[in-house]
Amino acid sequence: MQLRSQQGDTLDLILFRHYGYTAGITEQVLNLNPGLASLGPIIPTGTLITMPAAPTQAEQPLIQLWD
């Protein structure tokens, strides 16, 4: 999937808007898009960014302190 950046977008903002989180996905996006980091913190408007498939996050079990 590809997304096009909007005015004032940062990579973190784009990832949070698309996935709802940024941890662990930023590195994958930078690997898929050589040269993206060299564009600076504010990505130019209209830049195409290739996005990886969203990894499924394992649900963590709920720990009860008192039963």
- Position 67 scores a pLDDT of 65
Quote the tokens at residue 11: 């990579």
pLDDT band at 59 (very low <50, low <70, confident <90, very high): low
What are the E-state strand segments in 1-67?
Answer: 2-4, 48-50
Question: 3-class DSSP state for residue 17?
Answer: helix
| Per-residue pLDDT tens digits for 24-49 | 899 999 999 999 999 999 999 999 99
Quote the pTM value.
Answer: 0.75
Segment (H or E) for 14: helix 11-19
Look up residue 38 and give its DSSP letter: G
| Per-residue pLDDT tens digits for 11-28 | 999 999 999 888 889 999
Four-CA torsion 39, 45, 51, 55, nearest 10 degrees: 100
